[in-house]
Structure 1
Amino acid sequence: MRRQKRDRLERAHHNGYQAGLMGRSKEMCPYNNANAKSEWLGGWREAMTDRSMGLFK
């Protein structure tokens, strides 16, 4: 049985998290869709929190 592709919103969250870990600005969000943009920003905020706690450099 084939594996299903990851959900688009899950992917947006993951991409936002990766962008946050790399220190990118939240203005660099590539999404125009409100739901995807919200997920991306949520991932970005989560990454920034993790960075500020010292989990990543």
Structure 2
Amino acid sequence: MKRQKRDKSDRAYTKGYQTGVCGRSKDICPHEEPQLRQAWLNGWREGRIDNWDGKTGVSGVQQLSANARR
């Protein structure tokens, strides 16, 4: 059974979140398209907030899963 690809904006959000949790800069956003860039930056912001709150490692992954369900 083939697996469907996820929505590009969901993928951009997830990658932005992972970048933010690692404490990396938002200046490395790889997207030029405004919608994908905005999704990536939203994920980055959530990731930075979780990083500041100490939610790294397993708790960060759980938080990402919770954010994806919204």
Instruction: Provide the TM-score with structure 1 as the length reference.
Output: 0.90
Larger RCO: Structure 1 or Structure 2 (Cα < 8 Å, ≥ 6 residues apart)? Answer: 1
Residue of structure 2 in register with 1:48 after alignment: 48
Residue of structure 2 in register with 1:30 after alignment: 30
Provide the aligned length of Structure 1 versus Structure 2: 57
User: Is the 2:19–2:44 Cα contact (8 Å) retained in structure 1?
Assistant: yes
| Mapped partners of 1:8, 1:49: distance in 2 | 23
- Report runs of 4+ in structure 1 exceeding 2 Å deviation: none
Deviations 1:10-57 (A, max 9, x none): 000000001111111001000000000000000000000001111127
| Mapped partners of 1:13, 1:29: distance in 2 | 11
| Mapped partners of 1:53, 1:18: distance in 2 | 15
Q: Which structure 2 residue ranges, 5 or more long, are not aligned?
A: 58-70
Task: State the 1:7 CA deviation.
Answer: 0.4
Instruction: Provide the TM-score with structure 2 as the length reference.
Output: 0.75
> Structure 1 vs Structure 2: percent identity of aligned residues?
46
Residue of structure 1 in register with 2:17 after alignment: 17
Q: Which structure 1 residue ranges, 5 or more long, are not aligned?
A: none
